[in-house]
Structure formats: structure tokens, C-alpha cells
Structure 1
Amino acid sequence: MTLNCKGKLIDLSTPKVMGILNITPDSFYDGGQFKKENEILRHVENMLNHGASFIDVGAYSSRPNAKHVSQDEELKRILPIVQCLLKEFPEVLLSIDTFRSEVAKQCVVAGAAIINDISAGKLDDQMLTTVASLQVPYIMMHMKGTPQNMQEQTQYDDLIKDMLFYFSERLNAATAAGIIDLVIDPGFGFSKTLNQNFELLNKLDLLNITERPLLVGVSRKSMIYKTLKVSAKEALNGTTVLNTLALQKGASILRVHDVKEAIECVKLFETLHDD
């Protein structure tokens, strides 16, 4: 499997790592940590030096019960950062974490390479046609409701079967709109209980039936730190364990806060796989 990012084919036969850059004041782990331009540039440079293939930039916190942010505020936060990063690192492949088509459009026009949508187009009916016109890869996540109410929507007849129906419908809609490169994200922590998150991880390989690259984002999430009874800051070791399991289940992209450790997971997994 490959992704066409700004004319460059990214081969996903070896799993890739996506580094997280949250420029929100209220993200669950690193909210407010990167405010100044020099801090952001240093953090991104560090992630790139450690081997990140993509940098995922988000200006709207999607943690449970996060405050709603207007489109104007989201653009005000994210566009200058996109422009700054591309000026400093012209070859960087930026993924834009947004569910709004106008934010997606303006960021891609500014030079971003991928759109990462937590709602799979369900929160903005212009998203799919916009992404198709921009001709960029599109990551679609499984979520019910919105970040504000998703944790009230955890009822499923059969978790994996329901998710497969969801992705089948969204993939068909995206393909019909004209999007070529599609990635699915099962949405760990979104509209799922702690037990459902672990059921999902255990059966993750069943999502490979979609024949689309699979992005997994479990980095420092509550399924780890609540289970271990630690804080998000103490959840790196648990993250590494679950990233390794995700690779074994077929993950093509790991979305992480800690790039160095994730790259080490991939290297060890690939060495084992090659043998």
C-alpha cells in the first residue's frame, strides 16, 4: 500500500510513524505545552530527526468533553503554524487534524499533505468533496456523535461488525466523491468504553478486510493510564506495548506523542517479521 503525498509515494509496506503536534490549550496530554514558535519548531525538528514520516497538526482538542472551538479560532491557531513549519522544513509532510472542510482547504493550499478527520466527513457535508478536489490522502476515523457527547454513545450490537458497516459506508461515500488515497482509524477512546477499546485492539486485524491502510492512535490514552492506574505522563511504557500489539494486528501508521520509542517498535517488529 502507498499514499501519494504531494507527488511523493509513501510506501506503507513498512509501518510509518506520525508525530503529534497539538497546538490546543486543552489536549489531554500535551495541551498548552507548545505555545511559542521556537518551542514548536524544536519539537517538530526532534520528531523528524527521530524518524517521523508525518506530523499531525491539530488546533481543536477532540478529547472527551472538550470545549467547542469556532472555525475562525481554529484557523487562527493552525494556519500560521502550517506556514511556519513548511518554511522551516519544506519537505515535511503535514497532516491536518480537522473535521472542517474550510480548515482542510486553507491548510492544503498552504502546503499541507494529508487531512485527518475524526468524523469521517459526518460533521461537515462538504468535507469529502473538498478533499477530493484537493487530491490529498484522507484519514477517516470511527466516532459516534461529537467530542462533546461521544462518550455517551458507546452502545453497539457488535462492536467490530458495527465498525465495519460504518467504514464500508464511509469508504463508499469517499470513493464516490473521488478520493483515491484512504486510511482508516478505528478511533481508540472515541465513543468506546475501556473494555471496548481492548476488545477493539484484540480484534483489530478484522479491520484489514477493508483493504485500506490502518492508522492506530493509542498514545498515552486513558485505556492505558486508567488500566495501569497511572497518569498520562507515566503511560509511555504502556503505549509502547500497545503500539507493538497494533503492529502485530496490521497497523500501517502509528500516531504518537513519542516518535523515538515508536520508531524503535517498528524497527524491532520489522526485524522479527523479516526473520
Structure 2
Amino acid sequence: MTYINLIYLAVFLLTSAALFLFGGVDEGFAAERRRGKKAGAMKLRKQTVFTRLARLEQKRRGLVADTGMPKTVYRLLTGLGALGGAAIGKAFFHELFFAVAVGILGALAPLLYLGYKRTQAKSQRVERLQGSMMLLSNSYIVTEDFVQSVQDNIDLLEYPAPFRDFLTYVSLIDGNIKTGLRRMESRVDNPYFSQWIDVLLMAQDDRRMKYVTMSVVDAMADVHQAQMESDTVMYAIWREYFTVLALIFAAPLIFRVLMKDAYLVLVTTLPGQALLVLLLAAVVFSLVQALRLNKPLLS
């Protein structure tokens, strides 16, 4: 067997392995062994793929809505990202297929920016909520009347919306403080806020529990501080990650300038193009894994 045949065989094996792993064929085979029916296993796998696509689309819409970015601006950024990615792909990889592939990646780039903006917005919201909870806890320890504490400090709160709604409810609709507290809890999606509400509910029957409200706020502050430190580390990692990606995509261009023969082999022959496909697949896989790991400690 000649040297070129060995190269073709290696590329074929690598490509097959990549398709096997990225396409989820191994999961299909596992389902087939468990169920004993090939048709049922393949149907389950297809449903899983469509379910995942639907979830991704739902997450994309939620991301755009959470950041408050106008749809027109988002579409403009997506178009610019696609055009820029296609231009880079064509310049670096020469072939139309790679221009389209990199263009698709470029179209997804605004989602990374929106994810960063949403993380910042959530961090600021948690910080404002924590400050409001601390102010009200201190006031409640003194007054022993939560409604009075909210009335006295409503204009000083950094996160006043749920507390204004609480005052409106207990003053004009239902004077039951416990019902109002549970209703306010449903307005804020935060586990520490829920714990704080639980303590306030217990404090309505046992005044000694009012001191525990500060313990919940302190625990929330500790987690928020850990989240800020984690975000700082993650941003540094992301900078290094994108630097490596830039170097990876610049490699073909470097070959084009310094080693033209190697560049032609890379972009015009089947083994070279297969390696580039594996390169793009590895980039997508690493990006997905990085996004999965970058989960907030507190939302």
C-alpha cells in the first residue's frame, strides 16, 4: 500500500469516527440494543434531534428577549456575522463549502455576545436584589413590621418592582401578608429570595426568625462574590480560547503565504479538505462544551 493510500485510509477513518461521534450514531446503536428494534431506535433518535433543535431555538429566542435587543439589530448583526464569516472562510480555506460553513459560524457569533450581555445583566440584577433584601432585613429587625419596612424604604430600594407590587396587593387587594409574600416570591426567580421569603413567613409567627433573614442575605452575598470571581476567571479563559481559535483559522492563511504547495494540498485535495472538516467540527464541539461548562452559580 502506497503512502498516499495510507493517508486516504487515515482520513477516512478519522472522518468516519467524527461522524459517528458528532452524529450520535453510537446512541442509536445503543438504543437499538436496548430495545431490540432498529426502526424504533432510529425513530427515537430522530425525535431527540428535533427536540434538541427546538430547545436550541427556544433558548435563542429567550436570549434575545432577556437582553432586550431589538430584532432588527439582532438580524443585522447576524447578517454581518454571516457575511464576515463567509469572507474569512473563502479567503482562508479557498473552497465555497468552507466559506458557507464559516459563514454559519459567523451568523451564530452574535449569540455569544448576547450570552455575555445576559450574564452581566443577571449579575447586576442579583446585586440590586441583594442590596434591597439587606436594606429591608435591617429595617424589619428594628420595626418587626415588614409592610412598614417596605413602605419606609421603597424609594431607596435598588430593585423596587416586586416590593411595589407587594405593597399594592396587601394595601388594596388582600391584607393577608403571607399571601402577599408568596405572590411576591413568584415574581422573582431566585433561590435565595425564595429562602428569604420562607424565613419572613416563619417570622410572622415567631418574631425571633427575623434575625435569620440577614443570614440568608449573607449567604447570597457569599455566592454572588464567588460568582463574580468565577466570571473573572471565565472571561480570561474565553479570551485565551478565542485567541487560539484565531490562530487555528489563521493557519491556512500562513500556509498560503509561506508554504504555497502545502496550502494547495490542504485546500484542494480530499485528505486536506477532510482534515479541515474535522478542524471545523472540533471547533464547534469545543465551543458547545465550553458553553455547557460556563453555567452561572446564581441567577
Aligning the two structures, in what range does the TM-score lie when normalised by the shorter sequence? under 0.3
Q: As a proportion of its length, which structure holds more helix?
A: 2
Q: 1 or 2 for the larger relative contact order (CA 8 Å, sep ≥6)?
A: 1
Task: Mark the structure with the bigger radius of gyration.
Answer: 2
